[in-house]
Amino acid sequence: MDTVVLLGNGGREHALAVALSKSPLVGKIICLPGNGGTQSEGGGKICNATNDMLLDSGSTTTSAPLTTMDNATVIQLVQAVQANMVVVGPEQPLVDGVVDELAKHCPNVKVFGPTMAGAQLEASKVSDINFIFT
């Protein structure tokens, strides 16, 4: 069964996590950073990302929530948990190029979301105007 990393912490991401958890193909959904709702979902399929997911199994560091969605943290988490898929909820990680970076560093991982160039069309009216009129 697949492990999915879901980026975001809003109600949309909570709904996506619940919908993904209903698939028999999905074994685990790790929300980064997630929220109180995703943390409290029953069934054991949905959890929020914690720093111990990035550490060696022999570490004695206390578990704490991961709160950043920068590209380096996302790549490190995806590699550490051996995720098969990443679903990006919010716009900012897309604009920051998380899809492009995952394609470089984790080429076998499926990613749901547009590339940085595609995301910038949505995020920036200036990009829209330049795209349309050039």
Q: At 34, is the secondary structure helix, strand, or coil?
A: coil
Cα separation, 16 vs 74, in Å, equals 18
pLDDT at 58: 55
Question: pLDDT 10s digit of each residue in the chain, 134 long?
Answer: 899 999 999 999 999 999 999 999 999 999 999 999 888 886 789 999 999 888 765 555 667 888 889 999 999 999 999 999 999 999 999 999 999 999 999 999 999 999 998 888 777 666 666 666 76
Helix H or strand E segment including 45: none
Cα separation, 42 vs 22, in Å, equals 12
pLDDT at 44: 84
pLDDT at 124: 67
Cα separation, 4 vs 46, in Å, equals 10
pTM attached to this predicted model: 0.88
Cα separation, 134 vs 132, in Å, equals 6
Q: Are 30 and 83 in contact (CB under 8 A)?
A: yes
pLDDT at 121: 76
pLDDT at 114: 92
